[in-house]
Structure 1
């Protein structure tokens, strides 16, 4: 009897409280980034750093290749100690090149840190604009269509990308986006 009375009271309280709908929307950050000059500038800076570091690593491998060819040409003239010394020098240079490659392009390497540093400004601009739009439009949630979060269906009426771009002072006309993910890995030349 107590349980059924409790259940009836719980249902009455639940029905008495007004249901509040939560408003949500989404933006396409990839599209917005494609329109942002700050983002394009950051991408070109990242490319410059990546190209410079790639050249440095290629130069290291070219030097290793020269050492190997010189060793092969002189191998028959060298003593066993000299051979070991040359082989050790070559393997040390190879190890240095691999370590530098990992330091630059590896997990949380120099390129990763440079990306994080250079993308900070465009990300902050978008985040502030999204926050303003959410406050203006009284939204509870804002999703990013371009993120790893899977959105199987999106109704265009919930797309707030134009409002965010307007907040950023960007042109709203659609154009082809230029995505340029930078995933470079340097390999030894053959």
Structure 2
């Protein structure tokens, strides 16, 4: 599957960082509303269950084996000529040496070109991989889109790509559901799949767990709001108590000041009299 991953990673690499940012943003936005509904698929696993893909992969494996055999034959031929020239160099005329060096150089270039034509970035292997994977991949993505809309998923990730995922719960893997969707639409013939009842049971467990998470989030949010209201109530109560204490203290100060002023006036009157 290495070449399949290589092909997909070249397409998705630039989108992955944006995807992570969007995921984090939406997850935060949804906190006060509901749990973000996230699912996962494993494209490599799905492809392995598609009969036509398995058959084409088998044919491709036979081609790869034939290509490697041809490469090894050419390498052996090249090395034999290099060894032969090395052993006879001291006994051959310069013109013969030059002719054989040209022949060896041509064989070496032909070998390199053959390897590039078969396994290079624009070679037969990548082109065949694209031919095999792209049609089925398009069907997978279309099925994922329909499932996401029907089941109200917010996001569905592909854990077989180069997207870094530190942890994922297999209960949220909907790969089998995607395969059943492809089979139900008569778009592919699948192999080695569990019974449909097992798939539905698995998805029911996912829904139950997702519902539990949603309820926990709602309770946590409600508890958070109640704590916030309680804190505001305590703050308002403390503020009112401080206000009353200040007013009481101020009234006491004013009363004491008035008493002192009254005493001063009385003493002044006594002095005058």
TM-score using structure 2 length:
0.51
**Candidates 51, 60, 74, aligned match of 1:60:** 74
The alignment status of 1:124 with 2:146, answered yes or no, reads no
**Cα distance, 1:76 vs structure 2:** 4.1
**Candidates 171, 176, 196, aligned match of 1:162:** 176
- Higher mean C-alpha deviation, range 117-126 or range 67-76: 67-76
* Counterpart residue number, 1:143: 157
**Candidates 111, 120, 124, aligned match of 1:110:** 124
In structure 1, the residue corresponding to 2:40 is in which secondary structure?
A: strand
Gaps of 5+ in 1: 1-17, 175-190
**Candidates 148, 152, 172, aligned match of 2:194:** 172
CA distance in 2, matches of 1:146, 1:98: 32
* Counterpart residue number, 2:148: 134
CA distance in 2, matches of 1:58, 1:92: 16
* Counterpart residue number, 1:100: 114
* Per-residue deviation, residues 146-188 of structure 1 (Å, max 9, x unmatched): 22112222234432222112112242369xxxxxxxxxxxxxx
CA distance in 1, matches of 2:44, 2:60: 17
Gaps of 5+ in 2: 1-31, 184-189, 199-273
* Counterpart residue number, 1:86: 100
CA distance in 2, matches of 1:67, 1:73: 10
The alignment status of 1:28 with 2:42, answered yes or no, reads yes
**Cα distance, 1:47 vs structure 2:** 0.9
In structure 1, the residue corresponding to 2:68 is in which secondary structure?
A: helix
Which has more radius of gyration? 2
**Cα distance, 1:69 vs structure 2:** 4.2
Q: What is the number of equivalent residue pairs in this alignment?
A: 157
CA distance in 2, matches of 1:86, 1:156: 62
Could you say which structure has the higher helix fraction? 2
TM-score using structure 1 length:
0.70
CA distance in 2, matches of 1:153, 1:80: 67
